Structure 1
Amino acid sequence: MFSLPQLEAFVAVAEELHFGAAAERLNMTQPPLSRQIQMLEKKLNTTLFSRTSRKVELTAAGATLLPRARQILDMCIKTDMDVRRVSSGQAGTITVGYTAIAGQSALPMMLRKAAEGMPGVSFVLRELVSTDQMDGLVKGSVDIGLLRPIVARPGVVFRPLMQDRLVVAVPEGSPVLGNTRIPDGQPLPLGSLDRRPLLMYSTKEARYFHDLVLRLFASAGAHANITQYASQVPALLAFVQAGLGVTLVPASAMAFAPPGVEFHEIDGRHGMQELNRVDLELAWNEETANPAVLRLLDLIGESVSA
């Protein structure tokens, strides 16, 4: 099999049609250049150049080889560049897991940052609840997760990304609160939700929100009368839109709420503000072999710090 130096020597001579000029172009002397051509001709068992004392010309075999030799060399250069870009994190693919709420807030910010700092990287986006993201991080099917704080797994690293708060979502104009009517924009005491139909997060897929809501209700001395369960915020808001009850959702969910749903801040008395904190974390496997992941983590870290 011929070598790349032999093809480089051949292309240089074929384009210059002069051994001296080709040797100068390759920063070498003429004798080793001639040896490369001779070895190539021996490998191919053919003559590539017809040489006289006055000129050098390509033979029919040489003319056939020239475009293919150029193609091979171009492909080698491109491969070298692609490999270097991947190894430096400037190219490649990243699979991102994200919750429904993160898809409306943190995910667009991350993608904008990536488009600016690493435009050669492509993304595979997968909407998953936090527990499924964690499984993916452990198994390697997810590179980066945007998830809620849950029980840590060995090898998975977390970094705080965003903070939010819960607000109360109620059906617009519905008697679900009984005789209680809170004007739009006015904070709502959680005690007013005592024994009202509560649309609740799943204990399996959304344990973080489930436990936080129960802590908030307990702090307010209210009984949580759970009537429906769902794992994602959009499903809970659909229940509210249908007039089936009230729920608590992250404030960032107000940006994509369906019509017929109104929101109220939770009354912050009795230490409620300190307790009402929703965290979103960035997670990845510390043993990741994907250079693009490490580069993206650096970009996100700079953005969060700023």
Structure 2
Amino acid sequence: MYTLDQVRCFVAVAEHLHFGKAAEALSMTQPPLSRQIQKLERFVGVDLLDRDNKRVTLTAAGEAFLDNAQVLLAMADRAPQDARRIASGQWGRLSIGFTAASGFGILGSLVTAIEENFPGIDLDLHEMVTGEQLENIAEGRIDLGLGRSDTTPSFIDSELLLAERLLLAIPDGHRLHDLDRPLRKDDVTGEPLIMHSATKATSFYDLIIRHFPIDHHMVKHSISQVLTMINLVADNHGLAFVPESASLVSVPGVHFKAFEDLSEEIVELKAMWNVQSKNPALQQVVSLLRS
């Protein structure tokens, strides 16, 4: 196997086309320089240099080898610094899972903050419901989740990012849109509903049934994506409970109203991660979230 010292010797001669000047640049004498290049050529199996008493030139094989050798040396020189930056969390890759509603609001601000504070961290973004996020965190496929969950496994730590109101999405022409007062919880009794899925959006589903006496015979659709729910409301398929951040989405024919008899800011969005993660970039971002 050839060594980096042999490659450095070859590159020095190739760049100077003179053994004496190359030896001087490397702070060594010519005999050991010549031996290093001879060892390299024996390993490669071809002559990399043509030399005589008057001049040194590169062979065609030497020219090809030089291109790769310069890249190799640059990578070798940069490797220790890269390793230190990755270990410190200044560089690296962070995979983030997020719910659709967080994509409407806080996700953009979080991405901006990470990019400004840690420009060396590359972000991978994946839209998924909270249950999928927890599965992916457990299996190491994502590092950080932005979701809604009241209960998490013991290996998951979390930080509250946002608490917001629960709103009702109402279509054009519906009687509740024309009320001259704020909504009350009993206003939705007997209305067709578009609900969050009990299996795929469990936390939001549990939140709704905790605060409203849902008649499941009036549930027309159970789905997991907020934007789909809002589009169904626009097409007059029912009413939908959504986080306030979803009102940032402008869908023609849909209006959003709050409940006067519902506690303010009951919908929580949390950052979630595996406490056993060894990703230094994650530790830096968690510190940023907590600050």
TM-score, normalised via structure 2 length = 0.82
CA distance in 1, matches of 2:41, 2:76: 26
Which residue of structure 2 aligns with residue 236 of structure 1? 229
* CA gap 1:42/1:190 in 2 versus in 1, 3 angstroms: closer
CA distance in 2, matches of 1:92, 1:47: 38
* CA gap 1:22/1:90 in 2 versus in 1, 3 angstroms: same
How do 1:223-302 residues align onto structure 2 when only pairs under 5 Å count? 223-226=213-216, 227-228=218-219, 229-268=222-261, 272-273=262-263, 276-301=265-290
* CA gap 1:80/1:249 in 2 versus in 1, 3 angstroms: farther
* CA gap 1:212/1:162 in 2 versus in 1, 3 angstroms: same
Which residue of structure 2 aligns with residue 187 of structure 1? 182
How do 1:3-82 residues align onto structure 2 when only pairs under 5 Å count? 3-43=3-43, 44=45, 46=47, 48-52=49-53, 55-58=54-57, 61=59, 64-78=61-75, 81=78
CA distance in 2, matches of 1:246, 1:12: 74
Please report how far the alpha carbon of residue 136 of structure 1 lies from its aligned counterpart in structure 2 after TM superposition. Answer: 0.9
Check whether the contact 2:164–2:268 (CA below 8 A) recurs between aligned residues: yes
Name the aligned partner's letter for residue 267 of structure 1: E
Name the aligned partner's letter for residue 107 of structure 2: L
Residues 4-13 or 65-74, more deviating: 65-74
Check whether the contact 1:169–1:262 (CA below 8 A) recurs between aligned residues: yes
CA distance in 1, matches of 2:284, 2:68: 32
Check whether the contact 2:93–2:123 (CA below 8 A) recurs between aligned residues: yes
CA distance in 2, matches of 1:210, 1:154: 22
Structure 2 residue runs without a partner (length 5+): none
Residues 137-146 or 191-200, more deviating: 191-200
Check whether the contact 1:97–1:142 (CA below 8 A) recurs between aligned residues: yes
Check whether the contact 1:168–1:265 (CA below 8 A) recurs between aligned residues: yes
* CA gap 1:200/1:45 in 2 versus in 1, 3 angstroms: closer
Please report how far the alpha carbon of residue 27 of structure 1 lies from its aligned counterpart in structure 2 after TM superposition. Answer: 3.3
Please report how far the alpha carbon of residue 133 of structure 1 lies from its aligned counterpart in structure 2 after TM superposition. Answer: 1.0
Check whether the contact 1:11–1:70 (CA below 8 A) recurs between aligned residues: no
Residues 236-245 or 162-171, more deviating: 236-245
* CA gap 1:232/1:64 in 2 versus in 1, 3 angstroms: closer
How do 1:81-160 residues align onto structure 2 when only pairs under 5 Å count? 81=78, 84=83, 86-160=86-160
Residues 290-299 or 242-251, more deviating: 290-299
Name the aligned partner's letter for residue 65 of structure 2: R
Residues 84-93 or 248-257, more deviating: 84-93
Query: Identical aligned pairs, as a percentage?
Result: 35
